[in-house]
Structures are given as C-alpha cells and as structure tokens.
Amino acid sequence: MAPGGFAPGGPGGSATDGANSRRRLWHRLSDASPSGGHRRAGPSPAMVAVAQSRLPAGVAVVGDALNLPFADGAFDHVLTGYFYGHLPLDERTVFLSEARRVAGELVVIDTALRPGVEPEQWVERMLNNGSRHRIYKRYLTSAQLTGELGGEVLFEGQSFVAARVTWSNPS
C-alpha cells in the first residue's frame, strides 16, 4: 500500500504521480499495483527509467506535471507525493487544473507541518552531483491542504498528510 494506507487506481482505473523520483513512494506504489494500470510522469529521463524498471506492468513517461502529457479524462485518479508542496501559488493553480483535466480524483500526499518549522521556505539543497538548487517548500497541515484542494482529509500524521478531492464535473 502507499503511505497512508490507500491504493491508487480503482477497478480498471489508473493513477499518475505528478513528480517521480527514486524515493520511497515509488516503491510503495509499485507494490500497491503489481498488475499495472499506472502511468507516471516526471521531468527526468533517468528517474523515469528507474521508475519504469520498478513498474513492469505500468508505463513511466517523461512529462511536465504542469502540462500533463495525457488526454482529458484519461484517468480515474491522480496521486502525487511530495510535489504539491513545492509549487508556488501560480503553479499550484496550474497543477490542480491539469489534474482535474485528466482525472476525476486527486490525492495529494505531502510533508506535515511540525512544531518549530517555518511553514513556507526557500531553501538551498545540494544534489549528489554537488549541484546546488534553491527550492520552494511548504509544510502543510491537513486542514490547509484539504482547504486548498476543496476536498477531504485522508491522513494526518507527524511526517506527512494526505488529502483527496473528487470532482463530479469535468473541468
């Protein structure tokens, strides 16, 4: 199961993670859907290749989560982990619109706000290759995430929160 205990996809459904990497969530999602039915989009061919190797029955695609390379209504669900919290407001709006365009439901998993942590930060991170990048990062409460999505709380933990929004009408 994915973190939080929900499995993406449904009967005949599919899911896409709007931002892939080699981190834990990918393993968990691969375990959750060994029969496939998933499409995943990420920006880096190298990461997508790793994802594909862990998803023999699914399809990993290089793509921009702000301009998803999928047709309108292509999926039942979109699931994204530790990505939404990196989006400034203007990009959040675009991402939500894209998710709604391709699916009827969105699940967002992201880092929980902890005591003593600034909820919104610009921080410098160093990659394994030594390159440095300034990134935007938010730490979210479940109420905040749910409010932004207009949905419901799925999980509220010390390390991460999850929320779901189901859209009854196409965008």
Task: Give me the least distance between CB of 168 and ligand SAM, in Å please.
Answer: 27
Task: Give me the least distance between CB of 42 and ligand SAM, in Å please.
Answer: 5
15-44: contacts with ligand SAM (CB under 6 A): 17-21, 23, 25-26, 41-44
Q: Which of 80, 64, 83, 67 is nearest to 138 (CA)?
A: 83
- Chain-centroid distance of CA 114 in Å reads 20
Long-range contacts (CB closer than 8 Å, 24 or more residues apart) made by 112-118: 112/139, 112/140, 112/141, 112/142, 112/156, 112/157, 112/158, 112/159, 112/160, 112/161, 113/139, 113/140, 113/141, 113/144, 114/139, 114/158
Task: Give me the least distance between CB of 55 and ligand SAM, in Å please.
Answer: 13
Query: Can residue 163 be called a binding residue for ligand SAM (CB under 6 A)?
Result: no
Task: Give me the least distance between CB of 26 and ligand SAM, in Å please.
Answer: 6
- Total of residues contacting ligand SAM (CB under 6 A): 18
49-108: contacts with ligand SAM (CB under 6 A): 64-66, 81-83
**Residues found near ligand SAM in the complex (CB under 6 A):** 17-21, 23, 25-26, 41-44, 64-66, 81-83
